[in-house]
């Protein structure tokens, strides 16, 4: 992109839109954040609930651990979806009522 | 502003869209498809290795082999009565065949018994662990109790409970030993 004149003139065919790049970056950050939270909470719940004196028995996931991780991720996404729906409902209600009160 | 690549934030998980993982620059589309199918079959194989039916068959096979081996070793203590009818009427070759057949029959039945024990215990423990989603000692103890009770079900209630308790103690002891920390 160094051959384009001016920093903001990006309306040439085939060039990328900086606003879209910003959105993609923000979305990737969100996805990575969700993934890391999921990994942390399901690891704490299923694999090493006592991080100070936990001993890893073997390198592979034990059967109980893998079942627990399946259920943990399903619950995580379920709760995530419900919280997102609730918050969007709250947000639209606040918008509709002109943000009276809370 | 460049997209954040994994090397600039080393402790975060690298998330890529499914078709856009960074592969070496020369991989063709066919190679990418082959990699995808290889990963898929690897996942299926991993699922099969951790599944309960495979564990049951492996434990049953191991029990069968162990029971056959024990019976083979104990066949050395079986002797042929020199005054029985078989040793006077049959030739040496027929007697030998008879001994071997008897040994085979005993090995088969003993192997079946051990295979039953191993398969039932392994199946019950796998199911309990899959249900509880935890990995601790109570899986082994309750699986031992249930399989002891199942194996002794035809001898009445008290015998079943006693057998269950005994098998639970035995399998709990073995699992405790297997779970001990190595002394290093």
Which residues between 130 and 159 in chain B have a beta carbon less than 8 angstroms from any beta carbon of chain A?
Answer: 130, 132-135, 139
SS3 assignment, position A5: coil
Q: Is B6 on the interface with A (CB under 8 A)?
A: no
Cα–Cα distance measured from residue A86 to residue A53, given in angstroms and rounded to the nearest whole number = 39
Testing the interface with B: which of A8, A64, A65, A68 to mutate, by most B Cβ within 10 A? A64
Is a pLDDT exceeding 60 seen at residue B5?
no
Cα–Cα distance measured from residue B86 to residue A54, given in angstroms and rounded to the nearest whole number = 64
Q: Locate the chain A residue with the closest alpha carbon to B136.
A: A64
Tokens of B172: 């709990």
Which has the higher per-residue pLDDT, B88 or B118?
A: B118
| Cβ pair B15:A31 closer than 8 A | yes
pLDDT tens digit string along B137-180?
999 999 999 999 999 999 999 999 999 999 999 999 999 999 88
Minimal C-alpha gap between A89 and chain B (Å): 29
User: What whole-number percentage of chain B has pLDDT above 90?
Assistant: 56
Mean pLDDT of B100-113: 93
pLDDT confidence bin for A17, thresholds 50/70/90 = confident
SS3 assignment, position A21: helix
């Amino acid at each position: 992109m160094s051959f384009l004149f001016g920093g903001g003139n990006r309306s040439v065919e085939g060039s990328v839109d900086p606003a879209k790049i910003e959105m993609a970056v923000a979305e990737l950050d969100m996805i990575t954040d969700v993934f890391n939270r999921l990994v942390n909470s399901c690891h704490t719940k299923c694999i090493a609930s006592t991080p100070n004196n936990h001993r890893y028995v073997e390198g592979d996931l034990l059967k109980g651990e893998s079942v627990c991780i399946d259920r943990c991720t399903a619950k995580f996404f379920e709760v995530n979806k419900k919280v997102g729906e609730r918050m969007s409902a709250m947000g639209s209600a606040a918008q509709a009522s002109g943000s009276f009160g809370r | 502003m460049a997209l954040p690549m994994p090397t600039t934030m080393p402790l975060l998980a690298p998330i890529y869209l499914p078709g856009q993982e960074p592969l070496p620059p020369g991989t063709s589309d066919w190679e990418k498809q082959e990699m995808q199918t290889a990963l898929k079959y690897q996942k299926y194989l991993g699922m099969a290795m951790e599944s309960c039916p495979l564990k049951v068959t492996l434990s049953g096979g191991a029990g069968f082999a162990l029971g056959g081996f024990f019976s083979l070793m104990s066949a050395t203590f079986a002797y042929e009565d020199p005054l029985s009818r078989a040793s006077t009427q049959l030739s040496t070759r027929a007697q030998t065949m008879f001994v071997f057949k008897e040994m085979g029959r005993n090995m088969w039945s003993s192997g079946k018994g051990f295979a039953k024990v191993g398969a039932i215990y392994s199946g019950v423990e796998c199911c309990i662990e899959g249900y509880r989603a935890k990995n601790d000692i109570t899986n082994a103890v309750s699986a031992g109790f249930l399989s002891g009770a199942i194996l002794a079900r035809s001898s009445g209630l008290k015998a079943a409970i006693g057998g269950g308790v005994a098998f639970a103690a035995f399998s709990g002891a073995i699992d405790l030993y297997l779970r001990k920390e190595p002394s290093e």
